[in-house]
């Protein structure tokens, strides 16, 4: 094959000179404004054709060029795969975010796990930094290869190669395009690519973070049953129950006393030994009282003498219905107005035994004003006159008759469920039956049904309260005794009193039915609660403890994908993939091998050493500013080695 003529700049440039130039049809396309290295062809002499040895050597170099082109092709494929992999990872994270699958990864909060977010952030930044460094290196190499393999103006090569030095250099070169637009699009592409890398660096630390959240797990803890079992209700010693009833007033008198498991007239099971908050559903029992005025009651005085001292007590006949009467013996003398007296031992009429009580309905004797319903206002059978004794000398007591009323109550226990926090046994939801009670209601006639003593919890409590050793009280302030139970504005008297006031107290307190029912239900609930706290050994109820399941709340770390950082990272990776395809010439056929793989200072000096044309062109620049040098470099160069068959020839 006949070789074309080759022109050299000096006699010393043999056929292996890489800056051998060859006239091609491309030269004609440079345009009249292009300062080409081919502008002074007449100044050079024609060299002899290659010898056979030189042709063989050129064939060997051509094979090397094809290998380098193949390596560049593999680098471009690797570049695209790495960019696509990064975009795929972000797309996969978006898929996980849509269903929050990442929340399934949880870590318990321990002292060793307190720095999880710091460690995760550092790891993500390290991975992104290394990965993007590899991307920039490969993309820069392929992009410069593609840029140098094309016919470009020397200033364009300078701008693009300089832009790859870093984001700051890229911004500087982009700013220079305003005075001389030599490579606006290419420089903008490189700047955008490096800006996307910076976005990845910024967002990488917050793409995923560990987030603290509350979760529940099933746990077991020791629980105390609030309501005693009936088979274990009777205390080991009935006399010891006085210790329980004697402590009942302390509940109202000590506001700071912890009454976990007791709210108004409701008792609920409690936990112990729980250190974490949680939720538990426990058994609750509400004591409901239904009270009414008992009509047609009568009394008679019984005077007894012992060692010359006369003592007067009262026996009250309480008609429950046409056939059944309560007979209440040893009723103490009323010492105060505005008194609610819990009547002692109750039995059937003509019964000779008192304890245990055959009938266990609570019966109260009240010397307060009553809010009687209008329909019963004229029913005088509700009240009857009893003597009220008072005075400073116990031997010379004044007698004043006052109207008293009998109040009969029936009790029942209602079971329900309470939701509590097992850590402090506080109610998480109010129990409907523990409210302050219905609106005040006037008294109606009693529809009391006899409650036959069976020995259950309510019977035992009623027996204990009706025989409690306590002092009297009244609804006004000014008198303090040892065992007064204060509910709202009225004192509740448990049994006979020993204190005689100097004068009678005028009552102003008006008692209504709903308030009395709340008082009775609450005092029964308090007695049961105290009985369980005392335990059967101390005269209370048997304390039943067992393991109970509850839902324990605890704080954990869970992996969380953050939307905004992931969105910016995804947009950045997508833009990088698109720009890498364009900057590296993914859709262009690259057959020419550039003389150098970069365009740094050393490469430029080597070009100048091989050819006088760039040097001669820039010799006329007297003021070597960046603007002047960029303007002088606006001539086209083609720094490649052209392959023809098995030979290699360089052209500029």
Q: Where are the domains of the chain?
A: 25-210+563-651, 224-554
Average pLDDT of the residues of the chain: 73
CA distance 286 to 517: 13
> What pLDDT sits at residue 156?
82
221 and 550 in contact (C-beta within 8 Å)? yes
442 and 513 in contact (C-beta within 8 Å)? yes
124 has a pLDDT exceeding 70: yes
402 has a pLDDT exceeding 60: yes
Most confident of 445-449, 530-534, 644-648: 530-534
CA distance 251 to 231: 27
Weakest-pLDDT range from 226-230, 527-531, 630-634: 630-634
345 and 357 in contact (C-beta within 8 Å)? yes
489 and 477 in contact (C-beta within 8 Å)? no
Q: Is the dihedral of CA 472, 478, 481, 483 positive or negative?
A: positive
404 and 476 in contact (C-beta within 8 Å)? no
427 has a pLDDT exceeding 60: yes
Task: Phi first, then psi: give them for residue 572, nearest 5 degrees.
Answer: -65, -45
61 has a pLDDT exceeding 60: no
CA distance 460 to 357: 9
Residue keyed to tokens 């969105």: 567
Weakest-pLDDT range from 101-105, 272-276, 412-416, 482-486: 482-486
Mean pLDDT along residues 310-322 = 70
> What pLDDT sits at residue 253?
66
Between 592 and 200, residue with greater pLDDT = 200
453 has a pLDDT exceeding 70: no
> What pLDDT sits at residue 14?
35
293 has a pLDDT exceeding 80: yes
**Cα three-residue angle 278-281-285, rounded to 5 degrees:** 135
Q: What would the DSSP string read from start to end of 1-54?
A: -PPPP-B-SSTT--TT-TT-B---GGGGGG-TT---TTTTGGGSPBPPPPPHHH
Which of 470, 462, 525 shows the shortest CA–CA distance to 493? 470
Mean pLDDT along residues 356-385 = 72
57 has a pLDDT exceeding 70: no
**What's the token pair of residue 64?**
């090397």
CA distance 542 to 532: 6
86 has a pLDDT exceeding 90: yes
Alpha helices (runs of H) in 496-559, residue ranges in sequence order: 513-534
**What's the token pair of residue 312?**
């007067």
CA distance 175 to 186: 13
Task: Phi first, then psi: give them for residue 34, nearest 5 degrees.
Answer: -85, 125
Distance of alpha carbon 327 from the chain centroid: 63
291 has a pLDDT exceeding 70: yes
CA distance 501 to 489: 19
Distance of alpha carbon 323 from the chain centroid: 65
225 has a pLDDT exceeding 80: yes
Weakest-pLDDT range from 106-115, 354-363, 613-622: 354-363
257 has a pLDDT exceeding 60: yes
> What pLDDT sits at residue 398?
57
Q: How confident is the model at residue 445 (pLDDT cuts 50, 70, 90)?
A: low
CA distance 480 to 474: 10
Mean pLDDT along residues 57-69 = 51
Q: How confident is the model at residue 200 (pLDDT cuts 50, 70, 90)?
A: very high
> What pLDDT sits at residue 377?
61
CA distance 508 to 420: 41
158 and 643 in contact (C-beta within 8 Å)? no
525 has a pLDDT exceeding 50: yes
Q: What would the DSSP string read from start to end of 277-294?
A: -EEEEEEEEEEEEEEEEE
Could you say which DSSP state residue 230 is in?
Answer: G
Which of 151, 141, 156 shows the shortest CA–CA distance to 598? 141
132 has a pLDDT exceeding 80: yes
**Cα three-residue angle 93-99-103, rounded to 5 degrees:** 80
> What pLDDT sits at residue 287?
92
401, β-bridge pairs? 387
Residues whose CB falls within 8 Å of the CB of residue 313, separated by 6 or more in sequence, listed in order: 301, 302, 304, 329, 330, 331, 332, 333
CA distance 298 to 317: 5
Most confident of 18-32, 57-71, 204-218, 437-451: 204-218
Mean pLDDT along residues 198-224 = 91
Could you say which DSSP state residue 79 is in?
Answer: H
145 has a pLDDT exceeding 70: yes
> What pLDDT sits at residue 78?
93
Which of 460, 526, 459 shows the shortest CA–CA distance to 487? 526
Which of 630, 565, 600 shows the shortest CA–CA distance to 206? 565
**What's the token pair of residue 365?**
């004797």
> What pLDDT sits at residue 467?
72
**What's the token pair of residue 30?**
């440079």
CA distance 499 to 480: 10
């Amino acid at each position: 094959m006949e070789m074309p003529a080759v022109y050299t700049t000096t006699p010393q440039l043999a056929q292996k000179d890489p800056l051998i130039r060859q006239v091609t049809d491309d030269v004609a396309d440079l345009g009249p404004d292009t300062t080409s290295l081919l502008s002074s062809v007449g100044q050079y002499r024609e060299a002899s054709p290659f010898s056979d040895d030189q042709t063989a050597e050129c064939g060997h170099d051509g094979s090397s060029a094809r290998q380098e082109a193949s390596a560049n092709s593999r680098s471009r494929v690797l570049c695209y795969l790495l960019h696509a992999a990064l975009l795929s990872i972000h797309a996969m994270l978006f898929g996980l975010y849509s269903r929050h699958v990442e929340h399934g990864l949880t870590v318990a909060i321990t002292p060793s796990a307190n720095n999880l977010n710091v460690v995760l952030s550092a790891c993500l930044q390290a991975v992104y930094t290394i990965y993007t460094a590899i991307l920039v290196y490969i993309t820069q190499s392929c992009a410069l290869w593609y840029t140098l393999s094309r016919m470009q103006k020397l200033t364009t090569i300078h701008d693009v190669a300089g832009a790859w030095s870093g984001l700051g250099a890229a911004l500087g070169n982009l700013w220079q395009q305003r005075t001389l637009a030599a490579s606006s699009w290419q420089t903008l592409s490189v700047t955008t690519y490096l800006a996307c890398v910076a976005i990845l660096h910024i967002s990488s630390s917050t793409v995923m973070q560990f987030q603290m959240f509350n979760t529940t797990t099933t746990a077991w803890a020791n629980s105390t049953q609030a309501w005693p079992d009936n088979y274990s209700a009777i205390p080991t010693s009935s006399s010891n129950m006085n210790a329980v009833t004697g402590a009942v007033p302390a509940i109202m008198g000590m506001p700071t006393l912890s009454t976990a498991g007791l709210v108004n007239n409701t008792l609920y099971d409690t936990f112990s030994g729980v250190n974490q908050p949680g939720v538990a559903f426990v058994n609750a029992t509400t004591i409901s009282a239904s009270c009414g005025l008992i009509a047609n009651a009568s009394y008679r005085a019984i005077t007894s003498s012992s060692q010359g001292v006369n003592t007067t007590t009262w026996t009250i006949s309480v008609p429950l219905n046409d056939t059944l009467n309560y007979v209440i013996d040893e009723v103490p003398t009323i010492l105060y107005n505005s008194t609610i007296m819990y009547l002692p031992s109750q039995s059937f009429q003509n019964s000779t035994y008192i304890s245990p009580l055959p009938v266990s309905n609570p019966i109260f004797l009240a010397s307060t004003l009553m809010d009687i319903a209008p329909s019963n206002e004229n029913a005088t059978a509700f009240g009857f006159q009893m003597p009220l004794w008072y005075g400073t000398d116990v031997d010379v007591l004044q007698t004043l008759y006052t109207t008293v009323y009998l109040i009969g109550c029936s009790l029942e226990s209602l079971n329900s469920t309470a939701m509590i926090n097992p850590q402090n046994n506080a109610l998480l939801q109010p129990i409907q039956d523990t409210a302050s009670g219905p609106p005040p209601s006037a008294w109606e006639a009693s529809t009391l049904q006899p409650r036959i003593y069976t020995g259950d919890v309510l019977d035992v409590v009623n027996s204990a309260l009706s025989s409690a050793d306590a002092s009297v009280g009244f609804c006004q302030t000014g008198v303090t005794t040892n065992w007064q139970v204060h509910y709202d504005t009225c004192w509740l008297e448990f049994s006979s009193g020993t204190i005689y006031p100097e004068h009678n107290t005028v009552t102003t307190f008006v008692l209504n039915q709903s308030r009395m029912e709340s008082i009775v239900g609450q005092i029964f609930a308090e007695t049961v609660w105290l009985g369980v706290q005392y335990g059967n050994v101390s005269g209370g109820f048997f304390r039943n403890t067992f393991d109970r399941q509850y839902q324990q709340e605890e704080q954990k770390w869970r992996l969380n994908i953050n939307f905004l950082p992931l969105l910016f990272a995804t947009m950045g990776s997508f833009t990088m993939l698109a720009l890498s395809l364009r900057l590296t010439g993914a859709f262009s056929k690259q057959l020419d091998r550039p003389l150098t793989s970069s365009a740094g200072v050393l490469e430029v000096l080597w070009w100048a050493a091989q050819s006088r044309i760039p040097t001669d062109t820039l010799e006329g620049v007297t003021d070597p500013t960046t603007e002047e040098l960029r303007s002088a470099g606006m001539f086209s160069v083609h720094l490649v080695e052209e392959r023809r068959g098995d030979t290699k020839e360089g052209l500029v």
